[in-house]
Amino acid sequence: RDRTGRAQPVAAAVAEALAGLALLALWLDPVPLAWSVPRLEGFDFTGGGRVSLQFAVIAVTLMLYHGAQIGEVLRGGILSVPPGQREAAQALGLSPRQATRLVVLPQVLRLIGPPMNNQYVNLIKNTSVAIAVGYSDLMSVSGTIINQTFRPLEMMLLTMAVYLAICLAVTTQLNRLGDRLRRREGR
């Protein structure tokens, strides 16, 4: 902010991280999406984008469940900022929107870092319930490989390593974001 005079969009960094995770998931398993050029055949169009039912069910379920959890984390973070902070900002002439954006949200983002980190790691681990709706995820594929190769130890170690790598990558990025926010607030 000091160099450019403009606020750095923290929300954009979070959105980019989440988009990166989505692209990583699509790279690991590109099956749920199918795309072809739509064509008019008879009285109906064929082709276009298709999403498998299993993928849609697990995506909506995880979004609803973790959306509620993340909403509670955000609510708790907003309620943890003393109301005097907003009142003081408005007394200095800031509009309610400016007070929220410039005073409340920086404090909230600093406070909700660790619980949000936990929520994202839980989201990654909860993707293994996809097998309940018949979607092949990492755990079901590793189970199939174990049944075919009879090498459970190696496959479970590999599966644990993949989950560990993904969770560590997410945790590291969120910790870096939290450190950046703390350094910026310390100025």
pLDDT for the residue 47? 72
pLDDT for the residue 147? 93
For residue 127, give every residue at least 6 positions away whose Cβ sits within 8 Å of its Cβ, in sequence order, or none. Answer: 58, 62, 137, 138
- The answer to whether 52 touches 59, Cβ cutoff 8 Å, is no
Domain ranges of the chain: 10-179
5 torsion bin: left (phi>0), alpha (psi -120 to 50), beta (else): left
Q: What pLDDT digit, counting tens, does each position of 121-170 carry?
A: 999 888 888 777 777 788 888 999 999 999 999 999 999 999 999 999 99
Whether residue 18 has pLDDT greater than 90: no
Name the band, by pLDDT with cuts 50, 70 and 90, for residue 13.
low
pLDDT for the residue 179? 86
pLDDT for the residue 70? 92
Give the tokens for residue 113.
């870092």
* Separation of first and last alpha carbons in the chain: 11
CATH number for region 10-179: 1.10.3720
pTM listed for this prediction: 0.70
Give the tokens for residue 154.
């190696």
For residue 32, give every residue at least 6 positions away whose Cβ sits within 8 Å of its Cβ, in sequence order, or none. Answer: 26, 51, 52, 54, 55, 135
Q: Is 168 exposed, middle or buried (0-12, 13-18, 19+ CB in 10 A)?
A: exposed
Give me the count of residues in the chain: 187
Q: What pLDDT digit, counting tens, does each position of 63-116 carry?
A: 899 999 999 999 999 999 999 999 999 999 999 999 999 999 989 988 898 999
Name the band, by pLDDT with cuts 50, 70 and 90, for residue 26.
low
